[in-house]
Amino acid sequence: MSFSEFTPEDYTLIAREYAELKEAARKRCGGPDELDVVQKAFDFANEAHKNIRRRSGEPYIMHPIAVAKIVVNDIGLGYKSISAALLHDVVEDTDYTVEDIRNLFGDKIATLVDGLTKIKVVLDNEDKNKSVVSSQSMQAENFKRILLTLNDDVRVVLIKLADRLHNCRTIEYMPEHKRDKILSETMFIFIPLAHRLGLYGVKSEMENIWLKYKEPDAYNDINQQIGLNMMDKGAQIDEVIEPIKALMEKTGFEFQIKKRVKTPYSIWHKMQTKKVTFKEIYDLYAIRIIFTPHANNKEAEREDCFRILSIITNAFEYKPERIRDWVNKPKGNGYEALHCTIFSKQGVWIEVQIRTRRMDDIAEKGIAAHWMYKQSGFVGENDSVMDQWLEKVREILVSPDVNAVELLDIIHRDLITQEIVVFTPKGEQRTVPKGATALDFAYLIHSHIGDKAIAAKVNSKLVALSHILRSGDSVEILTAENEHPKREWLQFLQTRKARNQVMDYFKADRENTAAFGRKLLEDQLASLDYKLNEETLKAVMSHNEINSADELFFRIGLGIVKLGGMKDILADIDKPSRTWLSRFGFRRDKDSRKTDSYVIDKDDRKYVIATCCKPIPGDPVIGFKSPDGSITVHKKTCSVAESIASKHGDQVVIPQWESLGESNSFLVRISLRGVDRVGLLNDITRYISLVMNVNMRKLSLGTEQGIFEGFIDVYVTSREDLDKLVRKLSDIEGIQSVVRTDIE
């Protein structure tokens, strides 16, 4: 921030932006009195931030106005939240206090501002307030403060999401290391939180901004291809809408039809997870039917949604396996709709989404719309989903056994976990996380059943307790009175409740469990020619973010802390002599033939190439500085890097290791798929070896029913060389898909 007298143009800009906010607030406020409070909040904040500018040079008050716009337009909150958004930086950035706000605006608005101020203080001052004890978890403590506001008033989190979204919109004015920290925090916590609270618009915009700065080439390429695709098929989509519109007009419903294009981030994410190219994304487009049901109750909504589905599927060819019923079984974030995929006469597969206006409001504005309909008396059996999740989060937040880092990981896992529905033998419906086991289900039913479990019957078939459940399974737990929890259960249990129950059982025998864990660690260290001493213990504790040696031994004994990857954990302790491989100091670690882990000495800096994502020169990268000064380099989109940056943002640096010379090479994997033909393999290998002069390390290609699929591991010097190789391989006859994938 900086101080500079406002110009007439500045005042004109402020007046115009506030006029837009006021118009939006007018539609949301309950009357003139509420709108007067918003006006009063603006006048107060405008005066408090007078002549103060942001990094971008614009008047600072533009930020609170923008946050308030998101609060009313994208989230749908009322006048108290709009006012709090306008005032949210006043206490932190000026001489006014929370008591001043309370005297002028009342308790509720003051409480919201106080919650937002406390969040801002800890986030902004994390680097200044670190101590030896807190250095491991200062950033995690900050997020705990944010999440704790769920206990007081979830509107604080909603306004904070609006604040974060606007910060993302203006992130170009941030220095790169600060930008990477903010974007990593956003992806790790704020985006999943927006999704869990049902804020689809907020979530999607933050995802796209994340991709724009984390993978700018991919973002620009996808945007360009969307534009070209719209030019080619946009008219065809409009032609599909016309007959659907005619069908809807015959139903007598009041309705509107919207056209939706998949977002750049969702396309990129699908390309990464499904290992496909842009051309292989078949659900780029969707048509959304939003209608007003004949009666204002859940049963009428269901009947009308399925009536429209029947009309659409009778008129078009469709894929029965692609019908999604989130009307009878809403998603965990409250999302309700019917989806089907139809084939148009123009030869395009298009997803059709069927929603009532209430469902659309909840899909776009999430929890705020959920509250609004709940207060108006529109209550159904699924309306408690959001409330149940909030209650579960509150229980986690107040748990005395969970430190801040663990809490952040627990909340992150909970936010991204999908849920499935299973049934008891009596047909009672239960919701469990996707990936949950039969034993997790046993503990969900009752802790006594979990403790005494010996096996399960899933769909009348006998299975082990570690059996992973699938949606629709009927589950029966078999028990025996003389049974008790086993340590090995912790290897496969997925739910926190079940794991805590088993851990509580073994806490009674904590001393023996810790002794067992210590022995396991000593044996593992000995196998690598290390001893358990202060230095090695500190390295293992730091890696696992545990502050107590006894707690570390206990968790190892239980099997919660794994002892894999110890060579990497102890890398800073082990400093063996190494062979120089290039004039830039490029060298392999000990046993690098197995790990492909590299260390680079360049410009008096040691750069360690992360083995989790294996970046190569030209990839957008992020670095983390270790206490010894070395910098570990990850891809910016690496999930491990996102987690580290979210907890230890102060360690983020911008690596400068791109120019390593032509003599250095990096191992990457290229996955291929296409139509088999005689001589195809020979063409691929000849081109890689002879034309591109690229060394291959491993090749695995298989053919089934005329379709070939597989991968090739090759050494390249840079992202530019890799991209050229991918383009050239794509031109070979028969090859339909060539993508870079992770080496497992």
Question: What is the tens place of the pLDDT at every residue in 649-681?
Answer: 778 888 876 555 555 678 899 999 988 888 888
| Shared-domain flag, residues 55 and 142 | yes
Q: Report how many domains make up the chain.
A: 6
Examine the fold and report which residue of 473, 491, 506 is the final residue of a domain before the chain moves on. 506
CATH number at residue 271: 3.30.460.10
Examine the fold and report which residue of 506, 531, 548 is the final residue of a domain before the chain moves on. 506
> Does any domain span residue 671?
yes
| Shared-domain flag, residues 316 and 422 | no
Give me the helix-helix angle, 510-527 and 496-507, nearest 10°.
100
> Does any domain span residue 575?
no
| Shared-domain flag, residues 525 and 466 | no
> Does any domain span residue 577?
no
Helix (H, G, I), strand (E, B) or coil at 206: helix
> Does any domain span residue 227?
yes
| Shared-domain flag, residues 354 and 365 | yes
Examine the fold and report which residue of 151, 173, 195 is the final residue of a domain before the chain moves on. 173
Determine the pLDDT at residue 167: 93
> Does any domain span residue 204?
no
Distance CA 113, CA 107 (A): 10
The answer to whether residues 463 and 455 touch, using CB atoms and an 8 Å cutoff, is yes
| Shared-domain flag, residues 618 and 521 | no
CATH number at residue 735: 3.30.70.260
> Does any domain span residue 481?
yes
> Does any domain span residue 203?
no
Residues recognised as catalytic: 92-93
Distance CA 35, CA 31 (A): 7
Determine the pLDDT at residue 212: 96
Cα–Cα distance list, 744 to 134, 211, 308, 613, 649 (Å): 35, 24, 46, 10, 28
| Shared-domain flag, residues 100 and 152 | yes
Helix (H, G, I), strand (E, B) or coil at 256: strand
Sheet-wide strand order for 586-588: 586-588, 598-602, 605-609, 631-635, 621-625, 652-653
Determine the pLDDT at residue 594: 33
Determine the pLDDT at residue 217: 92
Find tokens 């009307």 and name the residue: 327
Radius of gyration of the CA atoms of the chain, in A: 28
| Shared-domain flag, residues 678 and 708 | yes
| Shared-domain flag, residues 19 and 90 | yes
| Shared-domain flag, residues 604 and 678 | no
Determine the pLDDT at residue 140: 59
Determine the pLDDT at residue 52: 92
CATH number at residue 468: 3.10.20.30
> Does any domain span residue 399?
no
Q: What percent of the chain has pLDDT over 70?
A: 82
User: Residues in the chain with pLDDT < 50?
Assistant: 122, 125-137, 381-382, 574-597
| Shared-domain flag, residues 234 and 368 | yes
* Domain span holding position 53: 2-173
